[in-house]
Each structure stands twice: as structure tokens, then as C-alpha cells.
Structure 1
Amino acid sequence: MSFKAKLESYINTYDQQGYLQGNLLIADKTGILLEQSFGLASIEFNIANTFDTKYQIGSLTKAFTSMAVLLLHQKGYLSIDDSINTYLDNSPNGDKITIYHCMTCTSGIPDFASLEDFWETTMRLSWTLDDMLDLFKNLPLEFEPGSQFAYSNSGYLVLTKIVEVVSGRSYAQFLQEHIFTPLNMTNTGCVNEVDIISNLASSYSYWEKEINTPQTNNSFPLGAYGLYSTTKDLYLWDQALRRHELISKDLTKLMFTINQGSYACGWDITKINGQLCRQHFGDISGFVNSIKQFETDEFTVIFLSNLDLIPVSVITKEIGQLKFDSSFNATLPRIQPTFPVLLEQFVGLYEIENFSSFEIVADEDLFLIVPKLYDVPYKLKLKHFHSDNKKSVFKTEKINETLVFIHQKKDTFQKIICTDYYGMTRVAKKIC
């Protein structure tokens, strides 16, 4: 089966099951292969996602911040090997932390998003950039700069400040003038507390149905995770990076070169089916997004979603597997109505050894309560797929997961086999 046929089957099956939400763009060296929208940009007003819908892109922002720094480096206004104290005042340990350390998350600066009360309080408050820097600059380093990798939003706020100090422009202005306008990225910018952004999607979480999600105050994400964009604009960005339109070939190579772990300058570098892939995941206030850039065939997958449950990184990876692994088949069986089962026999608390626990409850239908990203719990309807004397099979709503209950006798199970959206299969046991 050709890649195009496998892709169409994959997209159609996932769409029919309700597993897609947001905008998806797939391209290769011949141009855009697929650009498709799924679900609603606004549930409140019943407005569909379209190609013009904008999404907050979370940590995909970091690659743009790295580009801003490299542009200043290329013009000779700074060196990425300079210490951050060259440009910032009164930063303890700043003499031994370089700009490059911040770009590669090897600075040792604690991540402000991991500080106590951040998710409950700090993220909801209005902060100036300087206030945010003061929040973490006096904290002890987690390790000697350059010695190891630890993902840090804090380092990217330091870079934001340096861009502003060196250029004399705000972060938003600098990116607009030196990246977005030159690349004709007319639907990309930096969010703030005041400006209304036309065509910006609303964002959601999930508890039995879509619900509102806690919102990060837009005063401070800036160069760490503060941009919005569209799939089409991010494709322009993808093409500019591949063609060295903003910085030299050597600096582009540096941007994509791993320092520690698998992290380069605002990009994670990996291999999928033996193919080199530059990627990043973004997550903010119910928006989740993923970009994957393969070198082979200039293959690119971009998925922006306004529902935080959607496993965008998994879906973009699976599309890469469809492209580069002839044996990979992600076609799903269609869920058809089956004969009734006694729901109460499945209700209970379950445990996967050395991993996590989940709960199944009954309220006219069966529901799975399970932790996902950052251990946030979600309540998902279980759709009955199949039953016989040996087993009962359920699929979850909204995401591609399966529970198989192997029967032993009435109301008890020999084992429960759980397959999550990563394709990981584990055995669970009922504990009460």
C-alpha cells in the first residue's frame, strides 16, 4: 500500500473515531501533501477549526527564541559563548552561565514551572519579565553549567531578556521585524494580556466531555512558550530553516546539534525508524502541539490542537512511521454496537505495577478515570467493543486506548491488559 493510501486510511479512521482535534499539515519536498482541520475552534459558539485558526504553540516558541539569539550572534551584536552577566545585572552565577547554556537547557537554572505553587498560583498572576527573572535568579543552580541537561523554561526567559537588552526592542517586536515579516508569517505573534488575537482558538481539557482549562497569564511566557501561530505559518518556518533563509548553513547546523542528552537549541533531536528527526512538543493552557522535521524527503508533520488530551506527539510520530516503516499499520477496527454487558463487574480501582493506577466507574455508561500528561486525571467514556466467554474489550473515547478484561469467573478477571496511545501494553490488577 502506498504512503498516500496508508495516510488517508489512518486519518479517516482516527477522524471517524473522534481521535483528532485541531489542524494537521503534512509536507515533503514536493510541497504540502495534506492540510486538514478537525473539530471546533470554539465549542461555545460552534465555530469549526479552519486553516486560518491560530493556536498558542507553547514550547515550539523556544526554537524562535534560539533563532533570535543566533541572528544577533550572526550580526555580531553578541556571542553565544558570552556569559549572561555580560548583558544582565546582578545575576548570581551569571559569570559561569553562557547564552549557549540557556539555549541548550544546560545552564543549571531551576525551571520556574517546577517551583512550588506555580500551577496553582504563579501562572495565573500578572508578571513583568524582570519580576519573573527575580523569581528564580537567586536560587541555587541544580548543577554546574554545561555539565548536564535539564529542561528549563527559565533559561529561555533569560534569553528573552538578553534579546531585548541587545536589540533595544521588545521580544515581540524583534521577532516580528527579523523573523515573521521576512518569512511572511502574517498569522504568528506573541500573546500578551491586552491584545485580542483574531481567529485564535479557545482551548479545552476533558472530563467526560470538553471542559475549560486553567489559563496561564499571558504576561510572562514570552520566549519560553509565548507565541501563537498556524500550521501554514509553521510550514513557512520549516521551509526557511531547511533553506537557511535567516541564518547561515553553519549556524543552522549549530542550532540542530545536540549538546547534552538529545537537546540542541530549542529542538529535540531523535531518530524515528532510523530517520533523523528534529522535533519539539508544546503545551500551554489546553493547547498542545507537535512539529517533526525529517531530513529524508524534507518530510514535515505539524499538528496543532486546542484539546490538551490529544496525543499530538504520538500522532505525528505515527505519521512518520507510516512514511518510513512499510510494516507499520495504524488502521483501527471500527467500534460497532455489541450486546449488553453487566457494567458493574468492571467497576473498581486497578493498579499497573510500578506504573500507575486507574479507576472505572459506572454512570449509565462505563467511564475510565486515568492520569495522563503531568499526572492530570481525565474521565473518558469506555465504549464496549467486543465480549465473549473469554474476554471483554473496551476502547476509550477521544484517544486510542484499549482495555481487555480476560475473564476467570463471574465478576473476577484473570488479568486486565491495557494498551495506551503510545502503543505500550501493560497488565493491571483489580485492587478493590
Structure 2
Amino acid sequence: MRLWFSAALCAGLCVAPLPFASADAATAAVAASRPASAAEVATYARTLLADSVPEGGPGIVVLVARGDQVLYRGARGLANIELGVPLTPDQVFRLGSVTKQFAAAGVMKLVEAGKVGLDDPLSKYVKDFPNGDAISVRQLLNHTSGVKSYTGIDGYMHESIKRDLSTRAMIDVFKDLPVDFAPGQGYAYNNSGYVLVGAVIEAASGQRWYDYLDQALFKPLGLKHTRYGDVHALIPGYVGGYTRGDGGNAPMNYLDMSQPHAAGALVSSLDDLLRWNLALHNGQVLKPDSYRAMTTPEGKAREDGYGYGIGKAYAHGHGGWGHGGGIFGFATFLLYLPDGKTTVAVLSNSDSALKDGVNPEGLARRLAAVALGDPYPAVTAVPVDAATLKQAEGVYRKNPQLAWALRVVDGVLTQQRLGGSRIALTPVARDTYAYPNGLSRLQLQRDGQGAVTAMRYFGDGIGESQLTARSDEPLPQP
């Protein structure tokens, strides 16, 4: 998931069993040679939600559509645990980083109007930003600016995040921090960059960033429930957000929504997200050249498949675009596949996994694959001896900022992004392991002597992959 407050490939919880046995069995009703019917999608979706959402807690709302035909629209869980109010598909959720595609489209509308240039320097819009002459609008949109993400500041998310700050005050939080790399010389998912995107919108339009989006996008497209998630406003249909505490579910931690800014401060509903997907991806929002720029990864963002506020996404080999979000109290994913003009929106009112290995992106991709009649295969574990597992242990480094540790814990091979959470991997073939979502795969690479030299990550289980070499670094302490 792309989270508003963090972004980590393969981040998650340390888990063992995959929670989708019943849902995998339900795929038997879906033929692999034709798109699924609405009844087949609904049967699978209900089973998947039942597998994924425990009773008596927060939950998930889901929409699956083929073009403007809704195949399934449903909910499971509670909108308010204290009062026992159930979730419904009509309700409003925080979007987290799904906000970014709206902000990026807003910038592209300003580009089309001649008010912003993608290669304009940031200094044109934010006068005193350090090295602002070298940072372009384009680099803000695709996370290649090198600006330090304020959500990564030690301790910031505990108390500082509660303050109500202006755009100028938000920029002051991070403008003098050391950069991650020179502009255009790297890629790092970056929430500060989208605060600056919001600042560009405000300088070019003369409006607050969300007022401009309302005037340029929300009202013209009939997005009645998409708006700035102001914590001081009453928002019709807005659900309560939750987190996982020591004693189980607890109310979400507080933050002022001025701080997520254009990186993550919008709220919306399932129906609005369907309307948005169809409009954006079918030429009703941007001119063809603008849309092509927004959805074409370039430069250092190409390897990660990130365009402007949206990235490449897959469902069992079917390619398209998507984005996830995670923010206090909520987790989200919005997916669009050109095959069948397939939309899947998954919104959760919990920022913690509802069950081990369950997240909105995994659910969205499973649902999309079933709707296309090409479901993911079930995960079946195979035995691997302890010595073979031990051979994989080590640090695998992609760049100075990003590395993973493979480590055997209680007889299970685990992966941990350094600084992140540990997840358990399930062996499905020699040197091939499934992630807890049941979709992604890790494949170990060996040299001629049989030593493990690299790991290859298949985000969709098949197709495109990313290779990360094993380094000589010692394993860090658990």
C-alpha cells in the first residue's frame, strides 16, 4: 500500500497462515476463460469479506464495476463500534494517499490552462525554498525531488501531527531538512513533495488547494461526497476510524487534517471513486497528452512504476493504474484496469490489518482478477528444510535508503524492510515464496555454486519483477 504516513514495499505484520482459504475455494465458480457475472463476483466478494473482517469491529466497504455496471457493492463491519452502527456502501472515508491523484490531476488542469509548467522551478511558486530553482513541478509529482518527507521525522507523528498548520507553516516543518538526493537523481515516495504540490496549486490558482480541486474537479464531475476532510467540520455520512490497541480495537489517533494536505487530506465514497475512475481514465478530466504524462513513469520513477499521483498496478497479469492510502483510522485502495474498464475500490475504517495479511490492495487485486475471469491461484505450502531456509538469510540492498533482511524465525523465512515490520513468507516451490497477501512472490537467485546472491520480487506473482542483490552487510539485531 502507498500510505500517507509511510510507504514500504512488502511492509506488514509477522503472520503465518493465509486467511483466504474459503475465498480461494469460491474461485472455482469463476471460469478462467470469460469475465465473471455479477452473481459470481458477488458470491466471491461476500466470501472474501467474511474471511477478512471479524465481527464486532471496524470493517470494509467494496465496489467492483465493469465500466459503469456495478458488479458488487457491499460492506462488512461497523461504522461505529461504540454504538454498534453497521457500515454501508454509501458512507464516507478518509482516502489517505489516494488524494495524490486528485492533486496531480489538478496540477495537470493548471498546466492545460497555461498557469503551470511541469518543468517550472519550485521557486516560481514557493519563493524561499532551499534549492527551489533546481526542483521542478514534475519532480514533486513523481517523488524524484529528493525533498525529505516530514512524516519520517522521528517522533513527528505522535504530537506534532496534531497541530493546525497553514501551508506556509507546513513547508517550514521540512524545508531545511537534509535532502535524500539531488533533484531528479533518485526516487523516494514523499509526502512533503505533495504539500509542495498543494502550494503550487494555491500559488497558481489563487485558491486553497482543496477549494481549487472542488471547483475544477469535484463539482464538474458530480463528486458529491469528495472533499477536504476538515476535522472541524461535520461531514455527512463520515464513519469513525479505528486502530489496533493493546486491548483490541481503539479509536484512531488524532491528527489535524491540515497536515496531510494535498498528500492525503481528502475524504470520499465508493460511488464517487467509481465516477472518478471512469472520468479520469476515459478522457473526461484531462486532454490525451496530459493523461499520458500523468500515467507514464519517467526518469528515476520508472523502475517503481510511478507517474503523477498514480502508479502501475496489476491483477494477475492485467495491467492498469492504482494507488493506496493509509492514514490514522483508515486504509484504502483504488484500482483501474483497462481490461473491461474494471474499477475496484476498497475502503477500510481501520489503519491496522483486520486479519493477518489482509489489506485493501490485496483485496482489490483479488476482486479485479475474479471479475476478469482470471483469478489468482490458491497458495499451497511445500516443505523446505532448515538448511535451505538458512541459506537465504542476509541483507538485500536496493539503494542507500532501502534494504531488506531475510531471516529465519521459528522455522519460517521472514522478510523485513530495515526499519519496518517483519512478515512471514510461505514456500510454494524451491526458492519461491508467497507473501501474506497470497498474490506477490519472492524468488531467490543462486550462482553456479548454489549460493543465494539476490532476491527477485514479483509484485503480481507473475510478469514484471524487481531484482535486489544480496549485500555483505551483517544481519541487524532483530
TM-score w.r.t. length of structure 2:
0.69
Superposed CA offset, 1:244-268 (max 9, x none): 2122011111110112131100011
Superposed CA offset, 1:352-398 (max 9, x none): 96447989xxxxxxxxxxx99985799xxxxxxxxxxxxxxxxxxxx
The alpha-carbon distance between structure 1 residues 213 and 403, as it changes in their structure 2 partners (threshold 3 A), is farther
Are 1:273 and 2:316 matched, yes or no?
yes
Q: Distance in 1 between matches of 2:176 and 2:131?
A: 9
Q: How does 1:44-193 map to 2 (within 5 A)?
A: 44-193=82-231
Contact (CA 8 Å) 2:230, 2:258: kept in 1 or not? yes
Are 1:248 and 2:287 matched, yes or no?
yes
Among candidates 316, 328, 344, match of residue 376 of structure 2: 328
Superposed CA offset, 1:128-163 (max 9, x none): 221110111122321121122110010100110111
Match of residue 67 from structure 2: 29
Structure 1 stretches of 5 or more lacking a match?
Answer: 333-351, 360-370, 379-400, 405-416, 427-432
Q: How does 1:298-313 map to 2 (within 5 A)?
A: 298-308=341-351, 309-310=353-354, 311-313=359-361
Q: Distance in 2 between matches of 1:327 and 1:67?
A: 32
Superposed CA offset, 1:401-426 (max 9, x none): 9999xxxxxxxxxxxx9973345799
CA shift for structure 1 position 190? 0.4
Among candidates 431, 437, 460, match of residue 421 of structure 1: 437
Contact (CA 8 Å) 1:55, 1:200: kept in 2 or not? yes
Q: Distance in 1 between matches of 2:422 and 2:169?
A: 32
Q: Distance in 1 between matches of 2:129 and 2:330?
A: 33
Match of residue 11 from structure 1: 45
SS at match of 1:23: strand
Among candidates 323, 327, 335, match of residue 292 of structure 1: 335
The alpha-carbon distance between structure 1 residues 30 and 71, as it changes in their structure 2 partners (threshold 3 A), is closer
CA shift for structure 1 position 213? 2.5
Q: CA RMSD in A?
A: 3.1
The alpha-carbon distance between structure 1 residues 425 and 279, as it changes in their structure 2 partners (threshold 3 A), is closer
Q: Distance in 1 between matches of 2:425 and 2:100?
A: 35
Q: How does 1:214-229 map to 2 (within 5 A)?
A: 214-229=253-268
Are 1:314 and 2:365 matched, yes or no?
no
SS at match of 1:17: helix
TM-score w.r.t. length of structure 1:
0.76
Superposed CA offset, 1:185-221 (max 9, x none): 0111002242121211111123563222322222221
SS at match of 1:181: helix
**Bigger relative contact order, structure 1 or 2, given CA contacts below 8 A and separation 6+?**
2
Of the structure 1 ranges 188-197 and 50-59, higher mean CA displacement relative to structure 2 is found in: 188-197
Contact (CA 8 Å) 1:322, 1:329: kept in 2 or not? no
The alpha-carbon distance between structure 1 residues 32 and 135, as it changes in their structure 2 partners (threshold 3 A), is same
The alpha-carbon distance between structure 1 residues 95 and 295, as it changes in their structure 2 partners (threshold 3 A), is same
CA shift for structure 1 position 88? 1.2
Superposed CA offset, 1:66-111 (max 9, x none): 0111111101112111001011111111001000100011101011
User: Which has the greater radius of gyration?
Assistant: 1
Contact (CA 8 Å) 1:22, 1:41: kept in 2 or not? no
SS at match of 1:37: strand
The alpha-carbon distance between structure 1 residues 109 and 18, as it changes in their structure 2 partners (threshold 3 A), is closer
Contact (CA 8 Å) 2:61, 2:89: kept in 1 or not? yes
CA shift for structure 1 position 275? 1.9
Q: Distance in 2 between matches of 1:270 and 1:52?
A: 26
Match of residue 264 from structure 1: 307
Of the structure 1 ranges 255-264 and 224-233, higher mean CA displacement relative to structure 2 is found in: 255-264
The alpha-carbon distance between structure 1 residues 162 and 300, as it changes in their structure 2 partners (threshold 3 A), is same
- Code of the residue aligned with 2:116 in structure 1: it is L
Match of residue 43 from structure 1: 81
CA shift for structure 1 position 284? 0.6
Of the structure 1 ranges 229-238 and 136-145, higher mean CA displacement relative to structure 2 is found in: 136-145
- Code of the residue aligned with 2:334 in structure 1: it is I
- Code of the residue aligned with 1:322 in structure 2: it is V
Contact (CA 8 Å) 1:13, 1:331: kept in 2 or not? no
Sequence identity percentage = 24
Q: Distance in 2 between matches of 1:257 and 1:108?
A: 20
Q: Distance in 1 between matches of 2:283 and 2:87?
A: 31
The alpha-carbon distance between structure 1 residues 137 and 171, as it changes in their structure 2 partners (threshold 3 A), is same
CA shift for structure 1 position 10? 2.6
The alpha-carbon distance between structure 1 residues 94 and 161, as it changes in their structure 2 partners (threshold 3 A), is same
CA shift for structure 1 position 30? 5.2
Among candidates 207, 210, 221, match of residue 249 of structure 2: 210
Contact (CA 8 Å) 1:23, 1:49: kept in 2 or not? yes
